[in-house]
Structure 1
Amino acid sequence: MGQTVPKKQIKLAVDRNRFKRLVRESFRLHQHSLPAKDFVVIARKSAKDLSNEELRALLHKLWQRLSQLPQKK
């Protein structure tokens, strides 16, 4: 899993680090249900306005959608 949080999108380092920390933790908790693929999370400006709970809920929904991807053999 890779992630990118551009300074143009989230100005303050504190907010960028919070976003990255929450994404890493969420991925760690859900990685067992995800297919063996590479994922890249890219932050948008609106991400800094979300509370921790809102961001966790959004990521949970995202991991659920990705876990439904068909497995290629």
Structure 2
Amino acid sequence: MPHQGFPRDLRLLNAGDFSYVFEQADLKVHGKGMMALARLSTRGHPRVGLVVSKKNVKLAVDRNRFKRLVRESVRLRQHRLPSMDIVILAKRGVQDIDNETLARQLHGMWKRLSRDALALSPPPSLANVTHGA
């Protein structure tokens, strides 16, 4: 069974990592109460960062619950996610979504990110094919 932890190398840790994604996001996926910005990388594994502002989510308990659920979702799906840097932004109203619905939303966002990342980077076997008459 593959490792299921959430080590430091799966996280965006500093302002430079976040600005790398914010400046030129390759993908943008909206969900109820949240949005994901992603940029393809060559690291071989995904990295995730969270932005949960007090302006959008007033109570610390709600901010912490959201972050915990996102981290757990990433931890369980890390081996199926494409190699990209992802920033998850909490929007107003995310505190009103129950845990089960939030988990389903995240699962759908991961699926859309994976699908869209595949569309952005064609398989190497197709990149070398020449189209002639």
Normalised to the residue count of structure 1, the TM-score between the two structures is: 0.93
The CA deviation at 1:34 is 1.0
Q: Which has the larger displacement, 50-59 or 60-69? A: 60-69
Q: Which position in structure 1 is the counterpart of 2:8?
A: none
Q: In proportion to residue count, which structure has more strand? A: 2
5+ residue gaps in structure 2?
1-47, 125-133
Query: Which of 84, 89, 94 is matched with 1:42 structurally?
Result: 89
Q: Name which structure has the greater RCO, CA cutoff 8 Å, separation 6+.
A: 1
Larger CA Rg, structure 1 vs 2: 2
Aligned counterparts of 2:111 and 2:79: Cα–Cα separation in 1: 11
The CA deviation at 1:66 is 1.0
Amino acid at match of 2:65: R
RMSD: 1.3
How far does the alpha carbon of each residue in 1:26-64 deviate from its partner, in whole angstroms, 9 at most, with x for none?
011111111111000000012111000010000000011
Kindly report which structure 2 residues correspond to 1:1-73, keeping only aligned pairs within 5 A, or say none: 1-68=48-115, 69-70=117-118, 72=121
Q: In proportion to residue count, which structure has more helix? A: 1
Normalised to the residue count of structure 2, the TM-score between the two structures is: 0.52
The alignment-based identity, stated in percent, is: 53
The ranges of structure 1 where at least 4 consecutive aligned residues each deviate by more than 3 angstroms after the TM superposition are: none
Aligned length: 73
Secondary structure, aligned partner of 2:50: strand
Amino acid at match of 2:95: K
5+ residue gaps in structure 1?
none
